[in-house]
Structure 1
Amino acid sequence: MAAVLAAASLSLAAGCSSGGGSGVQSADSGGPASTAASAPSDRSAAPAPHDYTVDTAASVPGSAHWTQAHQRGQLVVSIPHSGTPGVASKVNGGDRYSGFDIEIATMIAADIGFGPDRIRVVPGPTMDSAGGRLRWPNDVDFSVGLTWIDTGDGTQPPFLLSDPYYAGGAALLVARNNDAITTTTDPLAGRRLCLVEGDDNQEDAKTAYPQAVQVPLPQLANCEASLLGGQVDAVYGPDLDLRGLAAERPDDVRPVGPPVSPPGLAVAVPTGETALRDAINASLRHHIDNGDWQAAYQATLGPSGATASPPPATREPRTGS
């Protein structure tokens, strides 16, 4: 759970740009200021593949959040992986964001009646500092980039999950010229393995690679720098993020799979919003079937050299991230 929630703290309050395909403007462009930490990267992201046709007649009967968004004239979306190149990062150091998760959010928004100029990105679900409980921000309509979690106390997380939009999990990143590590099944005996400190991935890595020497650092970007500098042999983390890093530096690093743990990523909606979740599922299936999903992946994460296919059409409905 910590892995998801730590990533959520990197989201920015922002308004979405209305021109040039999908893009999210930073708070400096007029959106409300965020109390979350600044995104760790302003590196350029791949351009959006294309605009998505907005269904101006769309409605989601039975969804209180859709009704509120329609009344306020703005859809509020959280992107937990904000700041990761290729996933959700600044475009050319400017005030717009793009990436695979941004594309997913924008195509869904279009299908339920919101163009890119009517989307605002805010921090996602976080841990309540007082009670240590998972808290869903009241104004967030949906969040892109969550996976199933166990709250640890028998309670249900405050949201429902869509069908997965991405079927990955934790994986490795290595230097491009590293021919010794070619699969995640390598035991990494004696290898220096970098990961984000204080993250659930730390425990997962201990289980998956008990013979590796763990090197915890504050952020994934720090691990990438250590990898490029030769201080570590591999980086362990969410394969979507690792593919984003590799898409930015394909000549220097490469992702290694298959995923060690394959929970997949989904879109979360507040508890009780089954109508909105169903509309999101229909949107995901539509954009998978018409090729938009594949085009979005190729334009944003394709440069990593790692291929991907859309996840299966459906799964058993689950509460929780």
Structure 2
Amino acid sequence: MRLRKASAFTAAVITLSLAATACGGGDDEGDGDNADGITIGIKFDQPGLGLRDGNNEYSGFDVDVATYIAGELGYEPDQITWREAPSPDRENLLRRGDVDMIVATYSINEEREEQVDFAGPYFLAHQDLLVRADYEVPDVEAINDMTLCSVVGSTSAQNVQEDFAPNARLQEFPTYSECLNGLEGGAIDALTTDDSILAGYAAQEEHQDKFKLAELDLSDEYYGVGLPKDSDRLEDVNAAIEQMVEDGSWAQAVEDNFGPAGYEAEDAPEIGARPTD
């Protein structure tokens, strides 16, 4: 895919915005009571998407999207409180009011839409496998003989069990980082989740040349912005996503975060698009 470049001005705005966010944003200890700002749930352990480093600075495509949306809603970067949103806890975080929204590789599906509202989608990924560099997966059927790892509460784990590899040995851990440790050590054959997430891990300096994507495109995963049910922000968030695509900021964020991994992202999906059977 050929991504159009954002203007120099837009790119500069994004850079300054993210720098301010990293320095001024809150951490995951907040309780969601952010009267003068907005609390946004993200992943803390997904390089390229949502990552908190040792200096409590945040980076990744989801962080860029969340920062842009917050800006369109009237919040400066230093008014954002970041809170960790592990996959099994996302619905509860929204239901309890611990966060105002979640931008955390949150795949839209019917079961989740019964509990929360989704703006977007803002990204289309595909489930795949991350394997060791010398490991070959000849076809989808071969996955049934493998030991896989994914995270608790993810659609990836559900897809393995219900769809393409019901006989595979599946291990579920709280974080992808734990799965990656098992993959590197040989305890598992593959980490399965969205290709965007896998590309982020494979691109890390310490992992280069160790792993590769199987490139199987096992499913379509439409990432949405999670909002509390019957949220009055739904239309405004959708408008913010559309504006981010139109002004080139979305394309710039894709290039900045996924370009180093050589990951070919899909074009931005239409607002309202949903997975089909």
Q: TM-score range by the shorter chain?
A: 0.7 to 0.9
1:230-267 Cα deviation digits (max 9, x unpaired): 33321112333222212213322223334322131111
1:30–1:170: structure 2 CA closer, same or farther, 3 Å change rule?
closer
Contact 1:125 1:135 in 2 (8 A): no
1:143 aligns with 2:102: yes
Amino acid at match of 2:148: L
| Distance in 2 (alpha carbons) for counterparts of 1:21 and 1:176 | 35
- The one of 27, 44, 49 equivalent to 1:82 is 44
Residues in 1 aligned to 2:170 and 2:87: alpha-carbon distance in whole angstroms: 26
Query: How many Å separate the matches in 2 of 1:19 and 1:285?
Result: 19
1:263 is aligned to 221
Equivalent residue letter for 1:117: D
Matches within 5 A, 1:142-181: 142-145=101-104, 146-151=106-111, 156-157=114-115, 159-178=116-135, 180-181=136-137
SS at match of 1:268: strand
Which of 162, 178, 182 in structure 2 is aligned with 1:222? 178
| Paired residue type of 1:224 | L
AA matched with 1:138: G
Q: Does 1:313 align with 2:275?
A: no
Q: Paired residue for 1:39?
A: none
In structure 1, C-alpha distance between the alignment counterparts of 2:37 and 2:102, rounded to whole Å? 15
Query: Letter of the aligned partner of 2:67 in structure 1?
Result: T
The CA distance in 2 between the partners of 1:30 and 1:111, in whole Å, is 19
Whether the aligned pair in 2 keeps the contact of 1:254 and 1:304 (CA below 8 Å) is: no
Q: 2:259 aligns with which of 268, 278, 302?
A: 302
| 1:100-139 paired onto structure 2 within 5 Å | 100-124=61-85, 136-138=95-97
Letter in 2 for 1:142: M
Q: Identify unmatched segments of 5+ residues in structure 2.
A: 1-15
Q: CA separation of 1:212/1:82 partners in 2, compared to 1, >3 Å: closer, same or farther? A: same
TM-score with structure 2 length normalisation? Answer: 0.75
Query: How far apart are the structure 2 equivalents of 1:172 and 1:127?
Result: 21
Quick one: structure 1 residues 94 and 261, their matched pair in 2 at CA, closer, same or farther if it must change by over 3 Å? same
Counterpart-to-counterpart distance in 1, 2:133 and 2:20: 30
Partner SS for 2:81: strand
1:288 matched to 2:248: no
Task: Report SS of the residue matched to 2:214.
Answer: strand
Kindly provide the CA deviation profile for residues 199-226 of structure 1, in whole angstroms up to 9, marking residues without a partner as x: 5543421331235343444532122122
What is aligned with 1:45? none
Deviations 1:22-66 (A, max 9, x none): 64469xx9757358xxxxxxxxxxxxxxxxxxxxxxxxxxxxxxx
C-alpha separation in 2, matches of 1:144 and 1:33: 18
Q: Given the alignment, which residue of 159, 162, 168 partners 1:212?
A: 168
Q: TM-score, normalised by structure 1?
A: 0.66
Query: Gapped runs of 5+ residues in structure 1?
Result: 1-17, 36-67
What's 1:241 paired with?
197
Contact 1:24-1:120 within 8 A present in 2 as well: no
Greater relative contact order structure (CA < 8 Å, 6+ sep): 2
The DSSP-based 3-state class of the residue aligned with 1:257 is: coil
1:125 is displaced (CA, Å) by 9.1
Contact map agreement 1:246 1:303 (CA 8 A) in 2: no
> Shift in Å at residue 147 of structure 1?
2.6
Deviation digits for residues 158-191 of structure 1 (CA, Å, limit 9, x no counterpart):
x32112111114221112343x2377x3532523
1:76–1:119 contact (8 Å) kept in structure 2: yes
Runs of 4+ in 1 over 6 A off after TM superposition: 125-128
Root mean square deviation, CA, Å: 3.6
CA contact (8 A) 2:85 2:93 kept: no
Asked if 2 retains the 8 angstrom alpha-carbon contact of 1:191 and 1:212, the reply is yes
Aligned 8 A contact 1:195 1:220 in 2: yes
What amino acid is the match of 1:264? Y
Contact persistence 1:124–1:137 (CA under 8 A): no
